[in-house]
């Protein structure tokens, strides 16, 4: 009689125990110390389904015949040819060597994104960069699609970006001290269920309940009513998308107009405040920024803005700003404007007061702060200085040698000949996918290393099958998690797939770098080393005792040293002269000398309202504003066919949420297939009519696997990035502008078939063996 094995594991959406019987997953149980486990844990058995897996090394037939001289437009059309691992790793090593010798290592783009696996050892992106740094380097990227414009402006105005990385006021402090909480964007379990590198305890809902119990007045500023749990009973202010900056500045202007701004705080703790004050009172441009001005832009009630401005200075007030607000054209401005408003109020550095960024955007933001050393693989020193802002991939491929700006410097795009993508799917997360498709024809060779046959893998020249985390051993942990968690192997690898470390080690061997790459350690040797390094740091630096590796591995987890009740910038507020910030004058920057000299039209010397390229304030009557947010049933495009994800779909397509008034105006019924389009592309979705969405707004989650049907080119799975605008947030930050998008909608009568089935048909045609 077989016995059920209990295997501790962790993913980005949390820790859990996998129940395995006769090599098959028969159940999943949540982590015993998690008060709010994610439902996504029940989808992980989909990783054991071979239908969408890469099961053996494969090479596009045209590339196998002609190598770098092949027809690059054959990507995604020509069939793949299976090859053995020795041939595959030889082809990869030879390509790295060829491009390095002929064009230099800057022509190798290691564009990998790190979300494919929460493990800190088999972290594909880190291991790829580790290997390439041993053989001359690569062109990489800075910042992330999730958050780029925000960290850039905060590094300039606060000296670092910790306020948006989980080091602002902790939520337990807010729950004890805050009287008025203004939520710009969201604090939602939908996004808080995930955390980069895994999470042990989902605490956002626990903290929210304590905030509610305190009687805190909570105001949600969002086009979506469900961007905070219904039981919070927040006041919903259904703002026009991408106008939060105007509301923040209007509130600040009202406070200044009433002469209630904290002049002492502005004098002691900020620099350049006079620039902002002249903008707010209208001295600069003749237009005062007050409640009436903000109401005209945001669509909100003027009197409510006046009353909130008064309350913000009369009570202990906290502003929270979601990461999503900076994923928009001029995305630097809402982060900077919130900092300006908080400075005008003058409560920065007080318990429960001030401003913080990203609460609920990831599960660990606002929770207790891990003050220990998180486990991580070294990528080694970078031999060359070559990078692009993360979302400028198409620009790089389409404009080799062209200039770009970033943080005040002008740089130049490399001549990219080789793209090596390990663990990621740009055909999910990049904007304007039809433009990306053209850019994707430019490199001579594209290598994709991934467990899944994603749309990106379909468009590769060489595909290397990696295992998922449940087919190998690893550990999870990060600076926003209070645990290090064991990720033990549950099942054997599918097909011929191999662990990422083993793949890179084999390639490194053929490049003559294996000894330096592996440092003489195998998988378990590395896991022991990474854990013990964190354990030793906790003991020697903090006096915190963690169990030894063997005890940890048996238990499946170990607690980390943490700090609770944290108030951001408390020391700076008390003594700004002796605790200066790393900014141009050691203070919070409200008026920037640097940006004044740069004279950018899209990121000036103080926070300002700048109209985005596309918004409802300049739309046609038949246009809606598209919001493409994180889905509830999966992380990005991972486990798209899992049970939690499928439950959100209809006919294999995403559901698009539409306000009843808009549905009536466009002749759309609930459950009907609709076409969503603009000049950049078109996709299909299933309409969901609901009054939780502001009129004039349509919501389509991210992550549907890019699936086209027939010659029309229409995307049938509901991938919103065929519609989004591929422009940088500004010349300064160059982040992605994923939420600045106007669209049109209409009923769609033709039956396109089930999108998931259509994807499988395409995959079978390309990769049949």
Residues taking part in catalysis: 113, 115
Alpha helices in 499-578 (DSSP H): 500-510, 514-518, 523-542, 549-555, 570-574
Tokens representing 151 are 């960290």
Please tell me the distance from the alpha carbon of residue 423 to that of residue 637, in angstroms, as a whole number.
Answer: 12
Residue written as token pair 């990769």: 767
Let me know if 179 is exposed, middle or buried by CB neighbors in 10 A (0-12, 13-18, 19+). Answer: middle
- Residue 479 CB contacts under 8 Å (≥ 6 apart), including other chains: 165, 166, 364, 369, 370, 374
Tokens representing 641 are 């066919």
Let me know if 624 is exposed, middle or buried by CB neighbors in 10 A (0-12, 13-18, 19+). Answer: buried
Q: Which residues of 632-662 are buried (b: 16+ CB within 10 A; e: fewer)?
A: bbbbbbbbbbbebbbeebbbbbbbbbbbeeb
Would you say 341 and 251 are in contact if contact means Cβ atoms under 8 Å apart? yes
Tokens representing 167 are 């080091």
Please tell me the distance from the alpha carbon of residue 363 to that of residue 207, in angstroms, as a whole number.
Answer: 12
SS3 of 387, please? Answer: strand
Would you say 322 and 184 are in contact if contact means Cβ atoms under 8 Å apart? yes
SS3 of 384, please? Answer: coil
Strands 5-11 vs 14-21: parallel, antiparallel or unpaired: antiparallel
Please tell me the distance from the alpha carbon of residue 29 to that of residue 16, in angstroms, as a whole number.
Answer: 6
Residue written as token pair 């599918």: 494
Tokens representing 102 are 């002929």
- Residue 251 CB contacts under 8 Å (≥ 6 apart), including other chains: 291, 294, 305, 308, 309, 312, 341
Would you say 133 and 385 are in contact if contact means Cβ atoms under 8 Å apart? no
Please tell me the distance from the alpha carbon of residue 20 to that of residue 18, in angstroms, as a whole number.
Answer: 6
Strands (E), 690-747: 697-699, 742-747
Would you say 153 and 335 are in contact if contact means Cβ atoms under 8 Å apart? yes
**H or E, element range at 625:** strand 624-627
Would you say 133 and 384 are in contact if contact means Cβ atoms under 8 Å apart? no
Using the Cα atoms of residue 193, residue 196, residue 201 and residue 207 in order, give the sign of their dihedral.
Answer: negative
User: How big is the CA angle at 29 (ends 25 and 32), to the nearest 5 degrees?
Assistant: 150
Please tell me the distance from the alpha carbon of residue 537 to that of residue 99, in angstroms, as a whole number.
Answer: 41
**Distance in Å from the first CA to the final CA of the chain:** 37
Strands 681-689 vs 655-658: parallel, antiparallel or unpaired: parallel
Tokens representing 21 are 């019987």
Closest by CA to 334, choosing from 348, 343, 324, is 324
> What CA–CA distances, in Å, run from 574 to 90, 273, 314?
60, 19, 21
């Amino acid at each position: 009689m077989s016995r059920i094995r209990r295997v501790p594991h962790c993913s980005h959406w949390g820790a859990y125990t996998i129940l395995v019987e006769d090599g098959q997953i028969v159940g999943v149980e949540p982590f015993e110390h998690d008060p709010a486990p994610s439902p996504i844990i029940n989808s992980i058995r989909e990783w054991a389904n071979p239908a969408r897996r890469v099961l053996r090394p494969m090479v596009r037939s045209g590339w196998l015949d002609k190598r770098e001289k092949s027809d690059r437009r054959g990507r995604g059309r020509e069939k793949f040819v299976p090859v053995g691992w020795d041939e595959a790793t030889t082809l990869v090593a030879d390509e790295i060597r060829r491009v390095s010798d002929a064009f230099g290592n800057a022509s190798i783009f290691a564009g990998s994104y790190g979300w494919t696996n929460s493990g800190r050892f088999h972290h594909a992106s880190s291991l790829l960069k580790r290997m390439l740094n041993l053989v001359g380097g690569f062109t990489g990227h800075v910042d992330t699609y999730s958050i780029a414009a925000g960290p850039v402006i905060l590094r300039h105005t606060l000296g670092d970006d910790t306020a948006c990385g989980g080091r602002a006021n902790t939520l337990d402090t807010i729950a004890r001290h805050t009287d008025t909480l203004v939520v710009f964007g969201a604090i939602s379990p939908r996004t808080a269920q995930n955390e980069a590198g895994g999470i042990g305890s989902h605490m956002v809902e626990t903290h929210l309940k304590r905030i509610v119990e305190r009687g805190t007045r909570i105001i949600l500023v969002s086009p979506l009513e469900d961007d905070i749990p219904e039981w919070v009973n927040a006041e919903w202010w259904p703002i026009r998308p991408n106008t939060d900056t105007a509301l923040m500045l209007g509130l600040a202007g009202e406070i200044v107009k009433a002469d209630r701004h904290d002049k002492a705080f502005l004098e002691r703790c900020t620099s350049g405040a006079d620039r902002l004050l002249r903008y707010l009172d209208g001295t600069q441009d003749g237009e005062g920024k007050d409640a009436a001005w903000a109401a005209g832009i945001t669509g909100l009630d003027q009197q409510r803005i006046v009353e909130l401005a008064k309350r913000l200075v009369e009570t202990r007030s906290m502003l929270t700003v979601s990461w999503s607000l900076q994923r928009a054209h001029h995305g630097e401005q809402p982060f900077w404007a919130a900092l300006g408003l908080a400075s005008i109020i003058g409560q920065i550095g007080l318990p429960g007061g001030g401003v913080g960024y990203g609460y609920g955007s990831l599960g660990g933001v606002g929770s207790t702060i891990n003050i220990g050393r998180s486990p991580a693989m070294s990528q080694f020193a970078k031999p060359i200085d070559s990078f692009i802002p993360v979302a400028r991939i198409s620009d790089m491929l389409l404009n080799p040698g062209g200039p770009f700006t970033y943080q005040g410097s002008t740089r130049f795009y490399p001549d990219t000949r080789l793209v090596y993508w390990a663990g990621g799917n740009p055909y999910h997360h990049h904007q304007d996918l039809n433009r990306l498709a053209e850019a994707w024809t430019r490199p001579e060779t594209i290598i994709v290393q991934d467990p899944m046959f994603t749309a990106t893998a379909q468009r590769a020249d060489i595909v290397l099958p990696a295992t998922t985390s449940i087919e190998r051993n690893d550990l999870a942990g990060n600076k926003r998690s209070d645990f290090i968690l064991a990720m033990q192997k549950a099942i054997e690898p599918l097909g011929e797939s191999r662990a990422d470390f083993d793949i890179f080690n084999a390639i490194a061997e053929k490049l003559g770098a294996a000894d330096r790459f592996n440092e003489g350690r195998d998988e378990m040797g590395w896991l022991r080393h990474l854990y013990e390094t964190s354990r030793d740091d906790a003991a020697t630096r903090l006096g915190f005792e963690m169990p030894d590796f063997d005890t940890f591995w048996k238990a499946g987890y170990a607690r980390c040293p943490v700090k609770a009740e944290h108030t951001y910038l408390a020391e700076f507020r008390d003594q700004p002269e002796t605790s200066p910030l790393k900014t141009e004058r050691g203070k919070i920057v409200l008026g920037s000398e640097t940006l004044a000299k740069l004279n950018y039209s899209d990121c000036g010397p103080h926070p300002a309202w700048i109209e985005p390229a596309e918004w409802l304030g300049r739309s046609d009557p038949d246009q809606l504003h598209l919001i493409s947010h994180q889905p509830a049933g999966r992380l990005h495009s991972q486990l798209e066919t899992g049970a939690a994800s499928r439950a959100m779909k209809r006919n294999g397509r995403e559901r698009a949420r539409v306000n009843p008034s808009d549905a009536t105006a466009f002749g759309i019924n609930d459950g009907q297939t609709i076409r969503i389009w603009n000049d950049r592309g078109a996709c299909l979705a299933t309409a969901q009519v609901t009054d939780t969405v502001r009129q004039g707004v349509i919501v389509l989650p991210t992550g549907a696997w890019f699936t086209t049907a027939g010659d029309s080119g229409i995307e049938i799975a509901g991938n919103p990035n065929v519609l989004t605008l591929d422009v940088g947030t500004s010349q300064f930050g160059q982040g992605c502008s994923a939420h600045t998008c106007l669209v049109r909608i209409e009923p769609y009568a033709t039956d396109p078939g089930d999108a998931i089935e259509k994807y499988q048909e395409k995959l079978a045609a390309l990769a049949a063996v």
